[in-house]
A and B are shown apart, each in its own frame.
Chain A
Amino acid sequence: MLALLVSFLIAVYLLGPNLIARWAADLVVFRKTRIESHAEEVARSIINAAIPLVLAVAWARWSGALWSAGSQRDVEVVFSALQSDNFFQTHHQQFFTSLYAFFWMNYAILWRLYLIVFLIAAIRTAIVLNYNRVWRRLHKRWMRTLLATIVPRISEWDLLFSDMLLPEGSFRIMADVLTKTGGLYQGAIQDRMLNNDGSLQSITLANPRRFERNDFRKAKSEDLETVPDEFWFNIPGNLFIVMASDIANLNLRYIRRKPLSFQPSSEEREVLSRLLERLKEEK
């Protein structure tokens, strides 16, 4: 019985808060799943739960809720009775009175613990979702590194392919993909698939096109003025999947969906104004 109670207490005090923290992290980033031993998992849970637990106990003690529900004597009676049958037989009535107090003492700590864990998870999620906005307000490198510690164990591929941490505004991620067989493809990243350990499984390109490298080389050898633009060919379809195992190199470029709308220079404005003027005149 004692082992059962201890297991239950470990679950609600250590594993529960850790589970909530993981669940909240999974809402905003693709976390790496690491294979850990049971000891590593418990050690990680203890470390993660230590601060909220200390805060919850301090709060319960400070408010008086902990000691109004029961006393240290109740805790001793419960554990002693569960460990020794003899003690249980001789303190039968006291055990049940102490068990009741023990329950309310735990309740006084636990609801505070879970409230703190939920609050920390909510604050962490809000910071991750607004990461770039917060990041830009911090100017010292050590402050930015400190901020990065709150991001869950994010997969590096999720970081590169997600627009979650990009500057404000709408972005498109363009990729040039060189395959191991020498094919060169280009397109906008539509989707990415990651394995449980966070490694890349495949990427999906929208509006894909292929570069005819051999034709380009041949034309270039005949005419040095040849430009590569004419050797890109559109691939029909909108879901071009490249398996990670086929990729040799990947070139990522982040561009705004409305490239001209963001702080245009006076020269750019001039060119565009002229174009719009002509359009208006010829209507």
Chain B
Amino acid sequence: MLSSKVHWIRCSSFERVKVSSSELEYVLSLRDANVGSSQKRLRAEIIDFIQRHEDAVLAQLRAHESAVIPTSFGEITLNLSDLHEAVA
């Protein structure tokens, strides 16, 4: 249901924890990896949806110049200009 390649934060207590420079560096590295894996997964889901529902996506683009793609991240709106930008 939810991506396994993402970082779940255990929030049983939300008290403050001092971020030292090495911890800051570690969190940034984790977040960098999160950006990469999330991006890969999201794109795969969008492309897969477009391939499976090409006619429906086309109908939306024709009517509104944008299409709403349901993904595990939520609904992503693709504008026609974004698609042109991607293939340019």
Contact = CB atoms under 8 A, between A and B. Distances in A.
B21 A146 contact: yes
A249 B10 contact: yes
Given A159-B19, A250-B8, A200 B14 contact: yes
Interface residues of B, number: 53
Contacts of B12: 248
Contact of B7 (A166, A209, A251): A251
Nearest to A156: B19
Given A186-B74, A244-B14, A275 B57 contact: yes
Interface in B19-33: 19, 21-25, 27-28, 31-32
Contacts of B84: 276
Interface residues of A, number: 64
Interface string A162-205: 00011100010010100000000011100000000111100000
Contacts of B27: 156, 159-160
Contacts of A110: none
Contacts of A253: 3, 6, 34, 38, 73
Given A156-B19, A250-B9, A255-B38, A271 B14 contact: no
A32 interface: yes
A221 B86 CA distance: 41
Contacts of B78: 260
Interface string A136-158: 00000100111111010111100
A260 B19 contact: no
A247 B58 CA distance: 40
Contacts, number: 157
Contacts of B75: 207
Contacts of A92: none
Interface in B37-88: 38-39, 42-43, 46-47, 50-51, 54, 57-58, 61-62, 70, 73-76, 78, 80, 82-87
B73 A269 contact: no
B39 A259 contact: yes
Contact of B28 (A135, A198, A267, A278): A135
Interface of B: 1-3, 6-12, 14-19, 21-25, 27-28, 31-32, 34-35, 38-39, 42-43, 46-47, 50-51, 54, 57-58, 61-62, 70, 73-76, 78, 80, 82-87
17 contacts: A32-B16, A148-B28, A154-B19, A159-B28, A160-B27, A171-B35, A249-B9, A251-B6, A252-B6, A254-B38, A258-B86, A259-B39, A260-B82, A261-B86, A269-B87, A279-B61, A283-B62
Given A199-B15, A279-B61, 9 more contacts: A148-B24, A151-B21, A156-B23, A200-B14, A249-B9, A251-B9, A264-B87, A276-B87, A279-B62
